[in-house]
Amino acid sequence: MKRLHIHVGVPDLDQGIAFYNKLFASEPSRVESDYAKWMLEDPKINFAISTRVSQGVDHLGIQVDEAKEMDSLRENLQSADMALFDEGETVCCYAKSDKAWVRDPAGVAWETFHSMADVALFSGKQEQSAGANCCAPGEESAKACC
């Protein structure tokens, strides 16, 4: 099964949570000091907000439940004739996941991922400061892949 993923940067996490709780008529499934996530069933979306990325839509994605679905998505991305940044297993957004990225022709970052476990860290990178973005590929990765 696939689920659309949307990650939005917000200036104030508490205000963001209050707004999206009302919009979705649901509480987040995970809340950290800099991050909140709703795993919605209707519509089927993994919706996340954080103070770690630029304000507004940071990236879009497709989350899968099984590794074989991830393999299929990788094939789809490669056949789209777009440069693929295959991140592999990584820690990001409080989860251990297998990830691959592309940028669409308009420059929008698309993440495909299979989450395997929740973890206590926002990212596996040493720097855990606010503004440290582990999500959409940075400039150096974007140039290499996208």
| Of the options 3.30.420.40, 3.10.180.10, 3.80.10.10, 1.10.3720.10, the CATH number for the domain spanning 2-145 | 3.10.180.10
Predicted TM-score (pTM) of the model is 0.71
CA dihedral of residues 67, 40, 96, 12 (deg, nearest 10): 150
pLDDT at 98: 86
Asked if pLDDT for residue 56 goes beyond 60, the answer is yes
pLDDT at 3: 94
End-to-end Cα spacing for the chain: 27
Chain centre to alpha carbon of residue 88 = 14
pLDDT at 19: 94
- Predicted confidence (pLDDT) per residue in 70-90, tens digit: 988 888 888 776 777 878 787
Which tokens sit at 97? 């996941």
pLDDT at 24: 93
Secondary structure (3-state) at 86 = strand
106-110, 111-115, 125-129: segment of lowest average pLDDT: 125-129
Contacts of 75 (CB under 8 A, 6+ apart): none
Cα separation, 129 vs 59, in Å, equals 20
